[in-house]
Copies of this chain bind each other. A is one copy, B any other.
Amino acid sequence: MASAPSAAPPGLSLPPRYLVFLGDVTEPGYAKTAFGLRDWAPERCVGEVALPQATVTTGLPRVGVGEAAALGARGLVIGIANRGGVIPDAWVAVLQEALRSGLDLVSGMHSRLADLPGLAELAAEHGRRLIDVRVPPTDLPVASGRKRTGKRILTVGTDCALGKKYTALSIARGLSARGIDATFRASGQTGIMIAGSGIPIDAVVADFIAGAAECLSPDAAPDHVDVIEGQGSLFHPAYGAVSLGLLQGSQPDAFVVCHAPGRSEILGHPGQPVPSVEDVIAQTIALGRVTNPAICCAGISLNTAGLDDAAAAEAIETVAARTGLPAADPIRGGAPFDRLLDACAR
């Protein structure tokens, strides 16, 4: 997303160009990371590689591992998030070949790369890195609360899994298209692979969550905008802590509330009500003020994937009228999203 700030990228730092590995995937839903890379970081992807059994493709060029290295790839990224997060033995030969070809390995799976047969030895032998993006850096500080230079926008939510990453990516891309110096800041594993850097906030030890968020959006030029990927929800019974640490460490000037109309219960928590957009705005301001007294809500991002065009337009108009704030579905874009970007640019 636009120009990088002058400082080193925060937290994990991934190789600049990737080969995307699809394993033996036959279910497109498991290849979300690969599709995310294709859609949001095509300039980082030299191509894809898969086992013969795979039936899913990203449409990126099919290249061999050695060929990918010749094309400029410096890492092989596992583009799959299967159930359980386990790397099957059948994938290991390709991973070993990648190390021998001079590629780092990048994984967001639960399996640790170093625990797979032969990988640690091969990585040492060839001077390559095994990068588990679920594992945060070990040198995170306790937050200072010090005001940093530059501007920050954070996406927050009424629940998990309703578009906080997508919204942040869309806003960063939209601001960049307007000539604003904006950087997407990743706080989750897929976002980190897309951005090439970031910190998996949900894996950080409690005392250091806000400190990790401070590292994620360091001092920057006065007009620079960091667009920070949110996590969880202040109203989530399990993940509220992650959301609050990220909010207070990010010290955002503005935030965008992400919501899925029609979702009435927190995902995976039957009977637990999704909060109103208004409640999320009020609490985000009340607790975000701790580190940025000027915090304000820039608008609302609705995930209208389940609605037809007319119902989506109505949902967007309804929440905009109710709150007096710009509202849009970034996937649908159009005039509403332009108005949301206007607010973010202010």
Tell me the A residues contacting B by CB distance below 8 Å: 142-145, 201-207, 209-211, 234-242, 244-245, 248, 266, 269, 272, 275, 279, 282-283, 286-287, 290-291
Contacts and interface: CB of A to CB of B under 8 A. Distances in A.
A258 to B, nearest CB: 18
A244 B206 CA distance: 11
Given A269-B145, A272-B145, A207 B238 contact: yes
Given A205-B204, A209-B206, A238 B145 contact: yes
Given A201-B206, A207-B203, A286-B283, A245 B237 contact: no
A239 B209 CA distance: 8
Contact of A290 (B144, B205, B206, B235): B235
A209 B242 CA distance: 9
Nearest to A211: B238
A136 to B, nearest CB: 9
Nearest to A246: B241
Nearest to A283: B286
A207 B244 contact: no
A66 B119 CA distance: 50
24 contacts: A145-B266, A145-B272, A201-B206, A202-B207, A204-B206, A205-B205, A205-B206, A206-B209, A206-B245, A209-B241, A210-B240, A211-B238, A234-B244, A234-B287, A236-B290, A237-B290, A237-B291, A240-B287, A241-B244, A241-B245, A241-B248, A244-B244, A283-B286, A286-B286
Given A201-B206, A206-B241, 14 more contacts: A143-B238, A145-B237, A145-B269, A203-B205, A205-B205, A206-B209, A206-B245, A209-B241, A210-B241, A240-B290, A241-B241, A275-B290, A279-B286, A283-B283
A239 B248 CA distance: 9
A287 B284 CA distance: 11
Contacts of A202: 205-207
Sorted nearest first, the 7 A-B pairs with minimum C-beta distance are: A145-B237, A241-B245, A143-B238, A209-B241, A241-B241, A202-B207, A244-B244
A276 B241 CA distance: 21
A266 B291 CA distance: 12
A188 to B, nearest CB: 11
A202 B208 CA distance: 9
Contact of A144 (B211, B248, B269): B269
Contacts of A248: 237-238, 240-241
Contacts of A275: 290
B237 A143 contact: yes
A206 B249 CA distance: 14
A284 to B, nearest CB: 11
A138 to B, nearest CB: 13
Most chain B C-beta atoms within 10 Å of own C-beta, residue among A236, A240, A275, A287: A240
A248 B240 CA distance: 8
Contacts of A206: 201-206, 209, 241-242, 245
A35 B239 CA distance: 36
Contact of A242 (B201, B239, B241, B287): B241
